[in-house]
């Protein structure tokens, strides 16, 4: 599921009890460079700045990530059999 917590909630005139529940998000986990290197997957990169260590996807576009995933799956099928 694609989730972007930085996008704002759209305000509509329709109000229901279940939609207005508050969701409490936990802050980002602070990791050292060594911890982040052990944590990342093959499709992710590690960005290191003087103040932060961030993990992000290599392919930022959702459609691009899906295309790369399908290509890797096909490569695996061709390699295996």
Residue 7, domain member (yes or no) = no
Residue 18, domain member (yes or no) = no
Q: For residue 38, what pLDDT is reported?
A: 93
Residue 38, domain member (yes or no) = yes
> What letters, b where the CB count within 10 A reaches 16 and e where it falls short, cover 32-70?
eeeebeeeeeeeeeeeeeeeebeeeeebeeeeeeeeeee
The reported pTM is 0.52
Residue 8, domain member (yes or no) = no
Contacts of 5 (CB under 8 A, 6+ apart): 25
Q: For residue 42, what pLDDT is reported?
A: 86
Domain that holds residue 61: 33-80
The tens place of each residue's pLDDT in the chain, 81 residues long, gives: 677 777 676 667 666 666 556 777 788 788 899 999 999 988 899 999 998 898 988 888 888 888 988 988 888 777 765
Residue 5, domain member (yes or no) = no
Total number of domains constituting the chain:
1
């Amino acid at each position: 599921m694609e989730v972007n917590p930085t996008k704002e909630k759209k305000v509509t005139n329709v109000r229901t009890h279940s939609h207005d529940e508050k969701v409490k998000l936990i802050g980002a986990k602070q990791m050292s460079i060594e911890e982040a290197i052990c944590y990342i997957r093959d499709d992710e990169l590690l960005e290191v700045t003087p103040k932060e260590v961030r993990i992000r996807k290599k392919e930022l576009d959702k459609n691009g990530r899906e295309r790369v995933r399908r290509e890797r799956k096909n490569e695996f099928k061709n390699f295996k059999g």
